[in-house]
Structure 1
Amino acid sequence: MRLGILGTGKIVQDFLPMVGTLPTIELVGMLVRPHSLDRARQLQTTYPIKHLYTDYQELLANEDIDTVYVALPNSLHYQYAKEALEAGKNVICEKPFTLSGVELAKLKALAITKDLVLVEAITNQYLENYQGIQKSLTDLGDLKVVECNYSQYSSRYDQFKAGTVLPAFNPKLGGGALMDLNIYNIHFVTGLLGAPTKVSYHANIERDIDTSGVLTMTYPNTQVVCIGAKDCAAPVRSTIQGTKGAIVVEGPTNTLEQYEENWPGGVTRKVRLNKHIHRMYAEFKEFERIIETHDMTVAKQRMAHSQIVMDVVDQALASANLQLG
């Protein structure tokens, strides 16, 4: 994979130390804003980034780049991914994929028409612990209740209350608790159970943005509650409860560092299957394989999953009368 990275933010700074452990990924270029050039040059002294660009079209014109990694603010995902696909580049896009299911459907159609890989960078779907949970589901009997709580007081919330609206709380930029923290919970649940039959979002809304909220999803025999909060905090924990046992995940649904199986009679088993300490390793290793082998079957499966997630988001935003973008 010969990569063009868009952005220099926190997720990119987290990604760069890890990508060195995947020698088949080459860092060909990085798109930066003019005011971020000094930061980008500092990154370039540490990591083997060949070229820095302030013009997106110049990056896209570099024929050495076969894949673009969109790691920009949420509201920019659709347009930048679209332009990359139009330029004949494969696309890896950070979560949330887009701001609506309609936008994602357009990107999917474009990717399929051009026979290009389009995937969402969503860590939990690729972690070995998640795959272990998927395999254990049938052992739990009939699933009855799933609860996910990813609540983390945001350092930007105090600024937001004081009147400074940063991207994390800006509805025009696709901010809010649903699109930031709860999106991981939605991926976690729908990757296990598929599309729900009913979605409702009960949000705490301040200045047109959800600072926290409770998302409910109904399945034929299972009820799901997903909590995401940026204005308060609680132990971050998820549970999957069935008639024959339960699974408990301590910690956020984007890292899944371990989980515990609970069986009748007080029998418990702690499980740690992740092979790499960095949460992004497994997904980018798989992205490299998909792109190198042009595995469009798996790419389409991944797009279908992301479409389910965005459809849930659409229903959640509508139920809470929220508009993003």
Structure 2
Amino acid sequence: MLKLGVIGSNWITERFIDAVKTSGSFMLQAVYSRNIENAKRFAQKHQASDYFDSLEALASSDVDAVYIASPNSLHAPQAMQIMKAGKHVIVEKPIASNFTLAQQMYQIAEEQGVILFEAYMSSYLPNFDIVRQSIPKLGKLRKANINYCQYSSRYQKYLDGENPNTFNPMFSNGSIMDIGFYCIAACVELFGEPKSIKAHAALLKSGVDGHGSVILSYGDFDAVVTHSKVNDSYLPCEIQGEDAALRIDMISLCQSVELHQRGHSPLSIGIEQHTNPMYYEAKAFANAIETGQIHSTDKHRALITSKVITEIRAQIGVHFPVDT
């Protein structure tokens, strides 16, 4: 069983810990937090034997792999430090603040002979695979409408004059880096790298985007992305071909999938998934470590998604301190 360390003590870390324990492939051994008392409390809660407030100590411990769920701006430097110590890394999406850093991370992974894995859970869901396999049934693709808008629980704090990480450029955040990531990554996974990109967004005074829209052109069809952290949407996503269309409820989780064929009643083709959607990426990460390689499409998707989002930020005028 693989020994796991975690960076971060928030809700998403707890959910990943539950996923890896359920997978049967990992045991939680170490916790890192900048505050030693937080690290100790979190370690005791989840039965981890070791806890640190030093990244160097975590890197030199005997864990096999580390899960990184720190703020976006810390993903690249922390992952590179951990990988240079010979540990495998699974880092929350987005893998890095920008494309240059993402490239550097994969170069270090190759040099060190370790696995670098982006924790983009959607790609490993059974229903996302059903979407992937069903696209040929649609005929010639013409339109895709990929929508994810969710009012942030921290937006009111921002409006009240606080400076939460969610809307702070210091932490490489904003709508396209968070909610919008799922939309862009899904398009890259399903359709590849777009031929052209047109992006628009409404920027908050903090300097990050609150919401925006993107048109990804693939020549003879377009994917229209709508994302927001300042309002809710209840619309499904659609992929439209000349012969049929797919309707997807919530692109990040693929809670349901329907095939709509002209002249026929809608057909539900989704299946029941694990209650913890991170279960599947945990299994995939363990398999990558055991086999010594990740699927080539995983690395490609992570890099191209980072490249596309970096271009989107350039077009809408969102710049992070780490970019320079």
- Tell me, which stretches of 5 or more residues in structure 1 are unaligned? none
Report what 2:50 is aligned to.
51
Report what 1:146 is aligned to.
144
**Alignment map for 1:1-325 (pairs within 5 Å):** 1-34=2-35, 37-38=37-38, 40-62=39-61, 64-207=62-205, 208-251=207-250, 253-296=251-294, 298=295, 300-325=296-321
Q: Distance in 1 between matches of 2:176 and 2:12?
A: 18
Give the match's secondary structure for 2:177: helix
**How many residues of Structure 1 are paired with residues of Structure 2 in the alignment?**
319
Deviation at 1:274, TM superposition (A): 4.8
- Aligned partners of 2:31 and 2:43: how far apart in 1? 9
Distance (whole Å) between structure 2 residues aligned to residue 286 and residue 16 of structure 1: 15
What percent of counterpart residues are identical?
27
Equivalent-residue separation in structure 1 for 2:5 and 2:185 (angstroms)? 26
Q: 1:113 to 1:41 in 2, by over 3 A?
A: closer
Q: CA deviation at 1:305?
A: 1.1
Could you list the per-position Cα deviations for residues 228-255 of structure 1 after superposition, in whole angstroms to 9, with x for gaps in the alignment?
A: 111111214211000000001122x221
Instruction: Judge conservation of contact 1:69–1:92 (CA < 8 Å) in 2.
Output: yes
Deviation per CA, 1:50-71: give whole Å up to 9, x if none. Answer: 2111111111111x21111111
Q: Which amino acid aligns with 2:135?
A: L
Can you list the C-alpha shifts for 1:143-172, whole angstroms capped at 9, x where unaligned? 111111111111211221222111000012
Q: Distance in 1 between matches of 2:228 and 2:175?
A: 6
Q: Distance in 1 between matches of 2:111 and 2:254?
A: 35
Q: Deviations over 1:81-129 (max 9, x none)?
A: 0101111111111001101110000111111112111110001110111
- Provide TM-score, normalisation by structure 1: 0.94
Deviation at residue 48 of structure 1 after TM alignment: 2.7
Contact 2:31 2:43 in 1 (8 A): no
Instruction: List structure 1 runs of 4+ shifted beyond 6 angstroms.
Output: none
Is the CA contact 2:143–2:241 (under 8 Å) kept in the aligned structure 1?
yes
Alignment TM-score, normalising by the size of structure 2: 0.95
- The alpha carbon displacement at 1:24 in A equals 1.9
